[in-house]
Structure 1
Amino acid sequence: MDKKYLENDLHTGQARVLMYLHRNQSEVVYQKDIEAFFQIRGGTVTGMIDTLQNYEYIQRIDSEIDKRKKRIVLTPKGEEVALSAVKTTQDMENNIYELLTGQELLVFQGVVEKMNKFIDEEEAN
């Protein structure tokens, strides 16, 4: 996917953050939300946010509730790039699904569900 996202000068992690912000536009999103959702460290997210802000894809806006926090919001330019990333992801998923027969897709979904359940149980312990 990195190769596809690089057509828009993005790395996969950056594209995923933009898509997350696009999907959650109606919510107030802080850096901590991104860290928690993707389960990545604060320093990593700070670097991504700095880069995305330098590209003018996002803005940091002071929180009205807590001035120490900054809301992370897409700019119009960022929204455009996020929509492009969504389309890139959907196109790749559709291409992969076309490779699989109905039975293979059912087996694949079963394996993914089994792995997710295992991971959820491991995280709970």
Structure 2
Amino acid sequence: MKEPFDLLRDFINTVEVKVQELAKENGIEHLSGPQGRTVSYLFRNQDKEIFVKDIEERLHISKSVASNLIKRMVKNGFVSIIPSQKDKRCKQIVLTPLGLEKAEKIIVFHEKIHEQLLRGVDETELEVARRVFKQIKRNLEKKE
């Protein structure tokens, strides 16, 4: 029964190493984690006002973690915080020109990593993997 967990651990480690390699090759080595996911989310939702609470929900993180993430991203020059157009009391998060540039690189990075990960995997196999991962996630979320 231990074998699936060993395979999963090896899989995760291999993916993490490859993700770091490709991120460095694509000039986004600091954006393969939560900052990159935030940049991608903001890029895909430029037509909407995005707030810290939206980042919390999207990344499944706490308010304090999301606030610290956004502070780091402001410091790194990827995002700015501006007043909402709808409610001046609220602060909207927007990509800076550097953030937009990095978002384009992240898109290329995601295409490369997905192509490499899924090479030789047909849709039937992928659907089985989806079901298995979803079931494992449900099992972990159950309180027993």
Q: Distance in 2 between matches of 1:46 and 1:4?
A: 28
Q: Provide the C-alpha distance between the structure 2 equivalents of 1:102 and 1:71, rounded to a whole number of angstroms.
A: 39
Q: Which moved more, 1:77-86 or 1:63-72?
A: 63-72
Gaps of 5+ in 2: 1-18
The percent of aligned pairs where both chains have the same amino acid is 27
Amino acid at match of 1:106: E
Contact 2:22 2:113 in 1 (8 A): no
**2:128 corresponding residue in structure 1:** 107
Q: Does 1:5 align with 2:26?
A: no
Do the aligned partners of residues 57 and 88 (structure 1) sit closer, same or farther apart at CA in structure 2, a change above 3 Å counting? same
Distance 2:79 2:50 in 1: 12
Counterpart of 2:58 in structure 1 is 37
| Preserved contact between residue 84 and residue 92 of structure 2 (Cα < 8 Å) | yes
Q: How large is the RMSD of aligned CA atoms in angstroms?
A: 2.5
Specify the alignment match of 2:99 in structure 1: 78
How many residues align? The count is 121
How far has the Cα of 1:2 moved from its partner?
A: 4.3
The alignment status of 1:64 with 2:82, answered yes or no, reads: no
How far apart, CA to CA, are the structure 2 residues paired with 1:74 and 1:40?
20
Change (3 A) 1:65 1:101: closer
Contact 1:5 1:15 in 2 (8 A): no
Aligned equivalents of 1:63, 1:102: Cα separation in 2: 42
TM normalised by structure 2 equals: 0.70
Q: Secondary structure at the match of 1:29?
A: coil
Decide which structure has the larger Cα Rg and report it.
2
TM-score normalised according to structure 1 size:
0.79
